[in-house]
Amino acid sequence: MTRAIGRLLHVEASPRGGRSRSASVARRLISGLTGVQVERLGLFEADLPELDGPVIEGRYALIAGDPVGEAVRGDWDAIREKTAHFLSFDAWLFSVPMWNFGIPYRLKHYIDLITQPGMTFSVVDGEGRGHAAGRSALIVASGALDVRPDGPLAGFDFQRAYLESWLRFIGVSAIHTIHVRPTYGPEDVVEAAMATAYAEAEALAASLCLPERV
Ligand SMILES: Cc1cc2nc3c(=O)[nH]c(=O)nc-3n(C[C@H](O)[C@H](O)[C@H](O)COP(=O)(O)O)c2cc1C
């Protein structure tokens, strides 16, 4: 059972602002959601603390069941705060361009920050347990190439495939992905890809706003 979406975090992973194709499709999806409170997190403007040597040792301490070292306690308070902020939402909308077959580095940095033992996941009797269970994620994935599953270029997808794997790791089971691709090529082809993505965004928003069956 997936929980109803009251609060949604829009994680924007393109630095292109108003020119971003993925963000533009995400905004269309948001405009179709009724009764949902949306917060935007622009990752290229966000303050993302460094995960350098001493800070990362804190993760190994946590995994061993020890407290993080005194010198990095402030860094870990900031990480805990980012993680709690992320988990305070009912659902997440990621608008993400493909960069070099994967995701933009700022999104990877954010994922590395918030994916921490005892915060977003736990290991119980050797089994991983995600703390985001029962919630949903919406992905708007753009790219110059058409790397959709089942297509001839599917093997180049380390963007949607990675994001979906990570979301499942932290417990998210309901994942809806909209492709915005190809965004490079003849104008009519790109326009058709945008029109399809906008239509899918509107349909997804409408389906998410359907009343729960009793
Ligand atoms: C640094 C960089 C790397 C890119 N690498 C790829 C790639 O590997 N595969 C691809 O299909 N498109 C790639 N692109 C193209 C973008 O994914 C494409 O232009 C997308 O529509 C951008 O989405 P946005 O407008 O939301 O930022 C790359 C673009 C940039 C800026």
The predicted-structure confidence for 164-179, as pLDDT tens digits, reads as follows 999 999 999 899 999 9
Q: Which of 43, 99, 194 to mutate to test the pocket of ligand 1 (most atoms within 8 A of CB)?
A: 99
Report whether residue 142 contacts ligand 1, using a CB cutoff of 6 Å: yes
* 207 contacts 174 by C-beta, under 8 angstroms: no
Here the tokens at position 153 are 């270029």
Average pLDDT of 184-213? 92
- Kindly give the distance from the C-alpha atom of residue 36 to the centroid of ligand 1, in angstroms, as a whole number: 30
Looking at residue 210, what is its pLDDT?
Answer: 72
Query: Which of these, 20, 18, 16, 17, lies nearest to 141 by C-alpha position?
Result: 20
* Lookup: tokens for 122: 């736990």
**CA of 62 relative to ligand 1 center, distance in Å:** 36
Domain boundaries, the chain: 7-208
**Ligand 1 centroid – CA 184 distance (Å):** 9
User: pLDDT tens for residues 39-97?
Assistant: 999 999 999 999 999 999 999 999 999 999 999 999 999 999 999 999 999 999 999 99
Ligand 1 binding pocket mutation candidate from 16, 43, 98, 105 (most atoms within 8 A of CB): 98
The verdict on the CB of residue 99 being under 6 Å from ligand 1 is yes
User: Which structure tokens are listed for 84?
Assistant: 């709690």
Whose CA is closest to 91, among 122, 54, 137?
137
**Ligand 1: which residue has its CA nearest to atom 20?**
143
Backbone angles phi, psi at 57, to 5 degrees: -60, -30
Asked whether 156 lines ligand 1 (CB < 6 A), one says: no
Amino acid identity, position 49: P
User: Could you give the C-alpha distances from 212 to 1, 32, 60, 75, 180, in angstroms and in order?
Assistant: 11, 17, 42, 41, 29
The pair phi, psi for residue 47, each rounded to 5°, is -90, 110
Q: Parallel, antiparallel, or unpaired: how do β-strands 7-12 and 37-42 relate?
A: parallel
What average pLDDT does the structure give for the chain? 95
CA-based torsion, 115, 118, 123, 129: positive or negative: negative
7-208 adopts what CATH topology? Rossmann fold (3.40.50)
For residue 151, give the nearest of 193, 200, 195 by alpha carbon. Answer: 193
Q: Is the pLDDT of residue 1 over 80?
A: no
